[in-house]
Amino acid sequence: MTAPNSLIQATVDHLRRFVPFDAMAGEHLIWLAERLRLGYYAKGEVMLAPEQGLVRRLFIIKQGVVQGDQSEAAAWLELGEGECFPLGALLSKRAAISRFRAHTDVFTYELDADHFHELRSLSAPFQDFCTRRIASLLEKSQRSIQASYATATSEQQSLESPLSEIARARPVTCAPDTPLRAALETIQASGVGSIVVVDGADQPLGIFTVRDLIGRVILPGVDLATPMRELMTPDPVTLSPSAHAFEAALLMARRGFRHVLVAEHGRLVGVVSEKDLFSLQRVGVTRISAAIRRAETIAELPPVAEDIRQLGHNMMAQGVAAEQLTQILSTLNDLITQRVIELECAAAGSPRHSFCWLAFGSEGRYEQTLATDQDNGILFVPPAGKSADELRAMLLPLAERINRALDACGFPLCKGEIMAMNPRWCLSLDEWRAQFSRWIDAGDPESLLNASIFFDFRALHGETNLAEQLRAWLMQRAQATPRFLHQMAANALRNRPPLGLVRDFVVASEGEHANTLDLKLNGTTPFVDAARVFSLATGAHATNTAARLRLAAPKLHIPQAEVEAWISAFYFIQMLRLRGQHEENQAGREMDNRIDPDQLNDLDRRILKESFRQARKVQSRLAMDYKV
C-alpha cells in the first residue's frame, strides 16, 4: 500500500481520537480519509433539513457545534467535535427527521452515502457503531470502568498482601473426637467448604473439606459416627499471618491445596481459600446470602450490608453490567429486609395474622443503588370479626421495629415517612384500592407524585398473593381511565434531561451543588416515568423499568432496537450513579446522585450526552402517544 500523504495522515490522526474511528483498522481509516470532503457552515446556517429529501452524505464534525431540532421552539440535540449525523436517516435511506443547524462556525468532514454504505461492509467496528451506536459506546466505557476498578481491586488484593488481610473469617473448627455427623452439620450450618480439626490449645491437627466427602466418606460407606481424627488430612501445612499471599499461592500450586491454614505461634487464626486469592469477587453473592440467612440477631446484619456495597465495587471490576448489578444489589437488600422481618416477628412472638410487606420506589423496581432509603408499606386482609383499624393497631408496633432495624442496617428512614410504621401506609386490600382510586380520579400534582412512587410496588414478604390481586386491579383501573394516563404523561414531561445549548449540560449554578447534575432526578427518572406510563397503558405487570419497556414495546409498535437504545442509556446513567456513590463511600462522604460532568473523561461525557438524548427520545414518544 502506498504511504498516505501528510494531509490524509493528519485526517486519520484526527479521526482516531473519536469513537468509532479509534477501533477501526488503519487501512480502513486511510480509505475513509481519501474519500472525505471538507465542508464549512456559518453560524446559524441550516446544514440539513427534512425538506431536502433523501440524505446523501454523512457529516462528521471536525470543528464547532451543531444543533438539531424537530421544531422551531428549541433544540433537542447538540453535537460536537468527532460526532456523526444523521446515521438513522442514512441507514434507513430516507430524509432527515430533524433540522441540523450550525450553532457556531462549523467545519465538517463529509462522506457520500454510497461510500458510507461501502465502509460499513469494509469495517466491522464502523458497522457495529452505526447500528448499535450507544451500545458500542457503552461497551467501550464499560471496558474503561472495568480496567480502572480492576486496577484498584488488584492493588487491594495484591499477591504481595499479607495473609492477615485476606483471612477474614474466624475458622470453623472441631475436636479430633467429633463424630463425622456433627462435623458435617457444622459445615452446613456455617456455609463453608472446610473444617479444621484442632486440639485444646487451638493448634491445627488436620483439615477436612467438602471435596473429601466422596472419596473418604460416601464411596467407602463410612459410618457417620466415625471420629474426625480418622478422616482428616493430618499435619496440615500452615503459614504465618505475616506471610505474603503469593506464598499461599505457591503452596496451592505445588501441593494441589485449595485451603491454606494461617497459624500464629502454632495457634490457628485463619484459613485462606483459593477463591480468596484469585477471585475479584472476594465478597461473593453466595457468601453474603448465606451470612444473611444465618444471622440470629439484627446486630449481625449491618456488616453484611457493608459487604453488599463492597460486592458492588468488585462486580464493577468484573465488568458486570448495571442492569444485572442493580438487580443483584436489590435482591441482596431484599434478603436483608426479609431476614429483619423474620427476626423481628420472632422477637415479637410472631403476629397472629398474616400480612404482605410491600416495597415501593427503586426497591420495588429492582433498581436500588448503593445509596437508598426506605420506601415500604403493609398490605393485609382483616380476618372475620376484626376491623382494619384493629388489625392495623396490632401491626404498627411490629412495623416500627422493622423500620428501625432496617435503619440500623444502613437503610435510612424515609424523610417523607413512606414506611410501614406510618398508619397511612399500613392498609387493608380494600383501603389500598380506595387510596389508588382517589389518586387516579384526582390527578392533581400530589396524587401523580404518589402514583409515581406507590404504583411501583412489589411484594417482599408474607402473603404475596395479596400484592398480585392489587396489581391486577390497578392495571384494569388505570387502563379504564385514559385521562389519568394522559396526566401521568404530562407530569413526566415536566422533568426534561439537562442538555444545554451553550454548554453540553445544564448544571446547578449556585449553592453546595453548583456545577453538578442530579443523575437520578434528571437522568434516570425520565426513563422510569415513561416506562411506568407505558406499563399501565399496556397492562405489563412488571415493575422493573427495562422489563416494562421491553414488554410494552411490541404492543406500542416501538422497534426493538429503539427500546434497547433507551435501556442502554438508562443503565449507563445508573452505572455513573453507582460509580459516584462508591467513590463517595470510599472517601467517607455522604452518598448522593450528583456528579460534576467536567470531571468525566471525554468518552463518558459523550455517552452521557447521548444518554440524555435517548431520554428526550423516549419523552418524544410519550408526548406523541398522549398528544402532550
Counted residue by residue, the chain has a size of: 628
Q: How large is the average pLDDT for residues 533-538?
A: 94
Amino acid at 294: R
Task: Pick the range with the lowest mean pLDDT from 79-93, 119-133, 266-280, 471-485.
Answer: 266-280
Q: How large is the average pLDDT for residues 18-28?
A: 90
Q: Is 43 helix (H, G, I), strand (E, B) or coil?
A: coil
Q: DSSP labels for 496-515? A: ---B-SSSSB----SSTTTT
Q: How far apart are CA 100 and CA 19, in angstroms?
A: 21
Give the closest residue to 111 by CA, choosing from 56, 66, 68.
Answer: 56
Report the chain's mean pLDDT, rounded to a whole number: 86
Q: Cα-flanking dihedrals φ and ψ of residue 184, to 5°?
A: -65, -40
Q: Cα-flanking dihedrals φ and ψ of residue 206, to 5°?
A: -175, 175
pLDDT band, very low/low/confident/very high, at 317 (cuts 50, 70, 90): low
Could you tell me if 42 and 102 are in contact, meaning their C-beta atoms sit under 8 angstroms apart?
A: yes
Higher pLDDT among residues 141 and 104, named by residue: 104
Residue-wise pLDDT tens digits, 446-480? 999 999 999 999 999 999 999 999 999 999 999 99
Q: Is 72 helix (H, G, I), strand (E, B) or coil?
A: coil
Contacts of 140 (CB under 8 A, 6+ apart): 19, 23, 603
Q: How large is the average pLDDT for residues 217-234?
A: 93
Q: What is the pLDDT of residue 559?
A: 87
b/e map 215-253, b = 16+ CB within 10 Å: ebbeeeeeeeebbbeebbbeebebbeeebbbeebbebbe
**Highest-confidence segment of 112-116, 153-157, 240-244, 497-501:** 112-116
Would you state the CATH architecture of domain 6-131?
Answer: Sandwich (2.60)
Q: What is the pLDDT of residue 618?
A: 93
- Reported as half-sphere exposure (CB side, CA atoms, 13 A), residue 571 has a value of 26
Residue-wise pLDDT tens digits, 178-188? 999 999 999 88
pLDDT band, very low/low/confident/very high, at 585 (cuts 50, 70, 90): confident
Residue-wise pLDDT tens digits, 537-580? 999 889 999 999 999 999 999 988 889 889 989 988 998 888 88
Provide the CATH topology of domain 163-278: CBS-domain (3.10.580)
Q: Give the C-alpha distances (Å, rounded to integers) separating 354 from 3, 278, 382, 470.
A: 79, 46, 9, 16
Q: What is the pLDDT of residue 560?
A: 86
* Alpha helices, H only, 493-601: 525-538, 545-556, 560-586
Return the DSSP state at 254. Answer: H
Domain ranges across the chain: 6-131, 163-278, 486-626
- C-alpha grid cell for residue 378? 403493609
Could you tell me if 314 and 280 are in contact, meaning their C-beta atoms sit under 8 angstroms apart?
A: yes
Tell me the β-bridge partners of 198.
Answer: 204
Q: Give the C-alpha distances (Å, rounded to integers) separating 321 from 316, 318, 563, 571.
A: 7, 9, 17, 8
pTM equals 0.66
Q: What is the pLDDT of residue 147?
A: 59
Give the closest residue to 167 by CA, choosing from 242, 256, 252, 236.
Answer: 242
Could you tell me if 180 and 225 are in contact, meaning their C-beta atoms sit under 8 angstroms apart?
A: yes
